[in-house]
Chain A
Amino acid sequence: MEYASLYWTFIRINIKAKIEYRAAFLLTFLSRGIVWSTEFALIWVLLYRFESIAGWGQYEIMFLYALNLTSYSMAAFFCFHPFTKLPAKVQSGEFDELLTKPMNPLLYLMSREFTASYFSNVAFGLLFIGICIYHLDLSLGLWDYAFLLVTLIGGMLIQASAFIYTAIPSFWMVRNTSLAQLFLFDFKDFIRYPVSIYPASIQVVLTLIVPYAFINFYPAQYFLNKQDFLLFHPVFQYLTLAVGAVLITGAILLWRWGIKHYHSTGS
């Protein structure tokens, strides 16, 4: 961690560069806010008609959404630009420059391309969590809030791993945007709703293979006092951080292997 302050310097200079365009920064904050609030409200409208889905009420499903949004945004701070733009960087040869610096390429990329505008997403995500807690009248103690933080960090690690895994093929393949689209967005649509509404096979996939259910479905049951574990053991509600840690370790190892076998471009 001796370099921690150095990476922090890179993040700071990024924020500094963003603030140069103050109007744009505020505008992003506003427009993102409108987008997320609309989505949030849409769930409310939808659930107003149905009242509940598989025993999950209106605000309970909104809570799932808020957990997903917040942990995604926390990961996107460091991951969205670095990894979704990686294929372009590899093609343009910009990635080569990264490898000639006395830095860890992964951390350097993440701190250099840190995107300050995700601040607005995180802020709205936390606001939505707050709204849900208020409406559901959950009485959470200090430890519960600490566990909420741990869950969000675990979810962030899972989401960050998804970014890294989907970017690694670009070391060898020219185009892999569809892979990123599939795993980062399409597949994640499943966890907008309680996983219990899906057939068992999909539940297994979302738990063991692409474990997005740990982002919101399992930990949410702790806060909402639910017992909706289906095929799996209730201990799964505590495992988000562990799952995140395992996934991110795998992602880092695969990343290192990828760089070793990196081809660069011809020119």
Chain B
Amino acid sequence: MIEVHNVSKAYRVNRPRESGWLASVQSLFSRAYEWKTAVSDLSFHIKEGELVGFIGPNGAGKSTTVKMLSGVLTPTSGHILTNGIEPSRDRKRNAMHIGVVFGQRSQLYWDLPMEDTFKLFQRMYRIEPSIFKRNVEFMVELLEMKGFYRTPIRQLSLGQKMRANLAASLLHDPKILYLDEPTIGLDVIAKTNIRRFLKELNAEKKTTVILTTHDMDDIEEVCDRLMMIDAGQIIYDGGLQAFSRQFGGGTLLEVEYRGDDAILEDARIQVVAHSGHNVTYQFDRSDVSLGEAVSLVTKQHNLRDLRLREPELEKTIGMIYTKNKGLREQA
């Protein structure tokens, strides 16, 4: 469905000039440029019906990647094929097979109800009347838009607008849906609605969904594949559980002892925090089973409390970003 081979994108940017007015005058006539690489040498495949989430810090190249996939940007080198089409070369033909929602930017007419924009899109995408009718009903039903289907867009809430935008981009049954930060700025209920909708859409129509996000819950609740981009490169590509295992460092066991100095010594179980009676252990469940870890901890000492926690993705990812940034600065 989507094939990406050795794709790079570089921008030419003005090199920051030295201070002083002489340098400013000089820069009017001759500017120094430098090439800034947004993404370098990306290669991956995405199959039909996959739900893929791109994460990464700001400026990592997530949006650039999605914009190249959707045909907005032309790669500096490498090839992209989506649906057998090279998106930036055959933009119009590609557009018939994709749906796009980029953040909060609205593709709907501000002063008109979504109904009017939908009718316009029906003509733009040349959608058969019967299919159009069926899809509008499907969207209005699933996104619960009956109450504001005929209200001018300017009167809608952020969440309602996002739902209307989603619907507008799906009327023509696109094979691929690109979403750039679809839940940004929405409240918890609106986020949940959108996530549930994406799952149902995928189950019903086999739509391939590619989204970028900063919200790990989007990934957890929607995606079955996670791609992490940092500094223009893919640093992880795979399932969510494998991701936690690889980067999360393992399951956390928080223990509160009755006495002091009751720390367990075992090569497979690390102590990650220790203060007074409270100790936090961490272990990989492929090395030590949960039962064994608990029995080891409880065997010798008297416990007041015991809690089991999975590592928080949010924190894990923050740690990866910081670590990579540190490594880059050293290099």
Contacts and interface: CB of A to CB of B under 8 A. Distances in A.
A32 B74 CA distance: 43
B72 interface: yes
A264 B74 contact: no
Interface in B87-118: 91-93, 95-96, 98, 100, 102-103, 105, 107, 109-112, 116
A10 B70 contact: no
Interface stretch (B119-127, B202-210, B251-259, B305-313): B119-127
A266 B67 contact: no
Contacts of A264: 64, 67, 72-73
Contacts of B82: none
Given A13-B112, A266-B59, A99 B124 contact: no
A100 B71 contact: yes
A94 interface: yes
Main secondary structure of the interface of A (DSSP, over half): loop
Contact of B124 (A96, A102, A267): A102
Interface in B45-101: 58-59, 63-64, 67, 70-74, 91-93, 95-96, 98, 100
Residue of A99, A260, A261, A263 ringed by the most chain B CB atoms within 10 A:
A99
Given A100-B98, A102-B125, A17 B109 contact: yes
A186 interface: no
Nearest to B36: A266
A24 to B, nearest CB: 11
Contacts, number: 71
A137 interface: no
B116 A100 contact: no
Interface residues of A, number: 26
B2 to A, nearest CB: 15
25 contacts: A6-B124, A9-B123, A13-B109, A13-B116, A16-B116, A17-B109, A17-B110, A20-B112, A92-B105, A93-B103, A96-B67, A96-B102, A97-B100, A99-B72, A100-B95, A100-B100, A101-B124, A102-B93, A104-B92, A262-B72, A262-B74, A264-B64, A264-B67, A264-B72, A267-B63
CB-based closest 6 A-B pairs: A102-B95, A100-B100, A17-B111, A99-B72, A96-B72, A102-B92
Interface of B: 11, 58-59, 63-64, 67, 70-74, 91-93, 95-96, 98, 100, 102-103, 105, 107, 109-112, 116, 120, 123-125, 152, 178
Interface of A: 6, 9-10, 13, 16-17, 20-21, 92-94, 96-97, 99-104, 260-264, 266-267
